[in-house]
Amino acid sequence: MSRVDKSAIVRAAEEVVREKGARKLTLDAVAAQCGLSKGGLIHHFRTKQSLLKAMLESAIAREDASAEACAKAGGDLLTSRLSSIFELMEDDEGLPRSLIAAVAEDPALLEPVKIKEVELRSEISRTYKDPELAQLLILAAQGLFFGRVLGVVEPEDPMLDRLRERLLMLSTDLA
């Protein structure tokens, strides 16, 4: 066993980005955050890129899990996805932070995100009578999400709740 595992390192990296910004996401900073030497950190992730990749994968997995949980609870595709986006927003901002860090470092790292997105779109096209409108609802949620990522939307903004309500309403109308 090890004192820390990979997921703890990923969390530490997210914490660093949240506290100091994507530009300050250095191996030293991550190592310090999880009480490891840089050498120890490198033992787990041989390059910084591989750490970024793990951060993205972890965030994607979390979003998928969240959407699936909502789907299990009876929500349709659109509602599940919308809920998971909002959950990510309220939650910990792990994905957004990872996104910024990754895209700044190397845009190619976003490939898995892109693939997920394309899958979602085709799934929507297959499921809904009016796929464009369904798309737009997802996009609106994502727009809000990015607004929070960039810090242009305050977390406490009451408008946020109203918009979520409205989106979920429109979503059930569509089903």
Partner DNA sequence: ACAAACCAACCGGCTGGTCGGTATCTTAGC
Partner DNA sequence: GCTAAGATACCGACCAGCCGGTTGGTTTGT
HSE value, Cβ hemisphere, 13 Å, CA-based, for 27: 15
Q: For tokens 């992730």, name the residue.
A: 45
Q: In the complex, what is the shortest distance from the CB of residue 110 to a second copy, in angstroms, rounded to a whole number?
A: 6
Q: What is the dihedral of CA 94, 99, 100, 106, to 10 degrees?
A: 140
Q: In the complex, what is the shortest distance from the CB of residue 33 to DNA, in angstroms, rounded to a whole number?
A: 12
With the C-alpha atoms ordered 94, 96, 100, 103, is the resulting torsion angle positive or negative? Answer: positive
Residue pair 90/145 in contact by the 8 Å Cβ criterion:
no
How many Å apart are CA 63 and CA 74, to the nearest integer?
17
135 binds DNA (CB under 7 A): no
Residue pair 27/43 in contact by the 8 Å Cβ criterion:
no
Q: What single-letter DSSP state applies at residue 46? A: S
138 interface partner picked from a second copy, DNA, none, CB below 5 to 8 A per type: a second copy
141 binds a second copy (CB under 8 A): yes
Contact mark string toward DNA, 32..61, x via CB under 7 A: ---xxxxxx-xxx-xxxx------------
99 interface partner picked from a second copy, DNA, none, CB below 5 to 8 A per type: a second copy
Dihedral-angle region of residue 25 (phi above 0 means left; psi in -120 to 50 means alpha; beta otherwise): beta
How many Å apart are CA 89 and CA 73, to the nearest integer?
20
24 binds DNA (CB under 7 A): yes
56 binds a second copy (CB under 8 A): no
Contact mark string toward a second copy, 81..120, x via CB under 8 A: ------------------xxx-xxxxx--x--xx--x---
Residues in contact with DNA by the rule CB under 7 A = 1-4, 24-29, 35-40, 42-44, 46-49
Residues that bind a second copy (CB under 8 A): 21-23, 99-101, 103-107, 110, 113-114, 117, 121, 132-133, 135-147, 150-153, 159, 162-163, 166-167, 170
